[in-house]
Amino acid sequence: MTADQLHGKHIALLGAGSIAGVFIERLLKSGTVRPDQILATDPNEERLKELKGRLGIQTSPDNNVGADFGDIIVLAMPPGVVKALLSESCQAVHEGQIMISLAAAVPTWLIESVLCKPVPVVRVIPNTPSLIGQGMNPYCLGKHVPESATRLIQEFLNLFGVAIQVDERLMNAATALTAVGPTYILPIIKTLASAAEAKGIGHGEAMLMATQTVAGTARLVQETGREPEDLKMMIATRTLNEETASSLFAQAFTEAFEKVLNSEKRLTQ
């Protein structure tokens, strides 16, 4: 894909933890931006040294440097420090920039209330498959995002996979489904591969079989548009206790949703 709107843009990541690393690596692998167009800030100077040495990006321990550098500012710090960090860096932010927040449970209105000017704010819930451009990343727009910025935002998010705009009131549910979602799927892959290994299949072959089965089944649902309940009838042998499995995953989703909701309540009090 092309990303004309991103050509020549500078991208600053305030925070250089694991999710920031995912975004930086994907940006570089996409070929859309060069290392000198990316700057990451973080109080952990060892982490900055590692990123600079491995990926060649610019770094600084000063968030104000990052806020001044980026045409796009990515908030990649822990949710609990967003308010304090933005309060400190407010004067370095320009109205012409776009701020993309990866901070779970932090609503756009809270970010906007801290900033001292009407900066466009986008709230994104990324998930780890974004590392390979296969993410499922719901997002919502703050009140200051102009129509003219939507193409740039979409091009940026498309680099990481599928991006879908949702109403902000649904973002906590989206987080429980997509951001936490890999933790529901990865144990299934491990369990199926281990069971096959126990019957004599080699580790590499078992992992390939398990991962392709999961990936292929997902594509089957997407490309046929048919309901899972309908598609499973194509397979004669079924041994899974579906009621138990459904209850397990529904409980996992509900608990994830409640955790995110409680985090939002704490952050916005």
Average pLDDT over residues 240-252: 97
Taken in order of first residue, the domains within the chain and their CATH numbers are 4-167 (3.40.50.720), 181-268 (1.10.3730.10)
Helix (H) or strand (E) holding 19: helix 18-30
Give the pLDDT score at 116. Answer: 85
- d(CA 212, CA 218) in angstroms, rounded, equals 10
- Tell me: the pLDDT tens digits for 121-160? 999 999 999 999 999 999 999 999 999 999 999 999 999 9
Q: Which of 173, 93, 163 is nearest to 126 (CA)?
A: 163
pLDDT at 3: 62
User: Mean per-residue pLDDT for 86-91?
Assistant: 91
Amino acid at 47: R
Mean pLDDT of all residues belonging to the chain: 95
pTM of the predicted model, to two decimals?
Answer: 0.91
Say what percent of the chain tops pLDDT 70. Answer: 99
Residue 51 to residue 176: CA distance in whole angstroms: 29
| Closest C-alpha to 69, from 33, 18, 17, 104 | 33
Instruction: Determine how β-strand 72-75 pairs with β-strand 11-14.
Output: parallel
The confidence score (pLDDT) of residue 5 equals 82
Written as six digits, the tokens of 1 are 């894909």
CB 105, CB 267: distance < 8 Å: yes
> In the predicted model, is pLDDT for residue 2 greater than 60?
no
Mean pLDDT confidence for 79-91: 92
Report the chain's terminal Cα–Cα distance, integer Å.
42
Q: What is the mean pLDDT of residues 70-80?
A: 95
